[in-house]
Amino acid sequence: MASHRKSRSTGTRVAGIRTPALATAALTSVALLSQTANAAPSDDRPSLEEVEKKVDDLYRQAGSATEKYNAAKEKTSKQRKKVDTLLDDVAKRTQKLNDARTELGSFASAQYRTGASVPETATLLLADSPQDYFDQNQLMNRLTGRQKTAVDDYVTQQSETMKKRQEATEGLDTLTDSQNDLKTAKSTVQKKLATARELLSELTAEEKARLAAIEKKKQDEAARKAAELAKQQAAAEAERKRQEQAAQQQGSGSSSGSSESSPPGTSNGTQAQKALAFAQAQIGKPYVWGATGPGSYDCSGLTQAAWKAAGVTLPRTTYDQVNAGTTVSVSQAQPGDLVFFYDDISHVGLYVGDGKMVHAPKPGAYVREESIFYDGESSIYSVVRPA
């Protein structure tokens, strides 16, 4: 007799237990999801080259924000001095106004004592606009010479005081705006630097070593470029001297020949030497954004201090320093010249010669001497001779 029982699915045994086919599929899916989840972090992690580029970009953005901070700080300082002067002026004028009011008050008291029916000077003191009061009541026609002088003085002092108070109010508003800009720039710098530090902290020891190797390769290339520039400049100088000597020998006039063929800026040689000597003496001091010395510097703080030591006043920021002199080509750069970088003009160094400069590079670094091609030839914006 045939059995009517249905045959059971063979299924799959897992650890000695028979499991249904559906459960097997579920377990397979779980395993695949687990593998995918484990693989995801490594797939999403940026490459070392991407980290390097991101960090470099962050430092550049921090440098740009630093110059904005420097500009806002300078503006805030100037505005604060202006407001202090205005408030001091308001205080002095208020005192003069009070003196004039006191004198007019004495006239009002005299009117009461003499039995005058209308104490016009007292009414004047309560008027919102003394000038309107004069126009409407023709008070001036009924005052003595001394009273007229007192009234004129009162009107003048009130007008000037109101004007200065308005200027002080507007000045305080501008000061508040400057302080807000300063806070925003400071916050931006801090955030950029914090992000850069976080990215670097996540690197393994092996990745940090590879990153250092990449940086070393960049420095070697920059040094090679600097050596090329040094050769070009030496050749140009030798040719200049040769032409000068030839002109002298031909009797063309040493003074005119020398004047035309001399490289621009030779008259500032002593000042440039002083500026350069100062900058080189700062080598080894830390970069601190917003710093102007003497213990630490940011890039524009260093160049400003260097040329100040030479008796030349430069503006505080790179944006203004780039306009504080004569622009020359890279091939004509001379010791003491300012070398600016990037399209946003957010970095500057002091040219040493032979394709090198002294500069305060970035947070975590120190004032040092290195190739002007440290970030590639295309990063150079311009060269400016301050004096």
Catalytic residue among 93, 274, 347, 356: 347
* 299 noted as active-site residue: yes
H helices of the chain, where? 21-44, 48-114, 120-126, 130-137, 145-201, 205-249, 254-261, 269-281, 299-309, 318-321
* 4 noted as active-site residue: no
C-beta of residue 271 within 8 angstroms of C-beta of residue 312: yes
Give the SS3 label for residue 264.
coil
One DSSP character per residue, 101-170 reads HHHHHHHHHHHHHHT-S--HHHHHHH-S-HHHHHHHH-GGGGS-HHHHHHHHHHHHHHHHHHHHHHHHHH
Distance CA 357, CA 225 (A): 13
Distance CA 30, CA 21 (A): 14
* 347 noted as active-site residue: yes
Question: Alpha carbon of 14 to those of 17, 22, 34, 252: distances in Å?
Answer: 5, 13, 19, 105
The secondary element (H helix, E strand) that includes residue 385 is strand 380-385
Catalytic residue among 359, 367, 383, 385: 359
- Provide long-range contacts, Cβ within 8 A and 24+ apart, for 119-127: 121/147, 121/151, 124/151, 124/154, 125/101
Catalytic residue among 62, 150, 299, 324: 299
Residue 302: Cβ-neighbour burial (10 angstroms; 0-12, 13-18, 19+): buried
Catalytic residues: 299, 347, 359
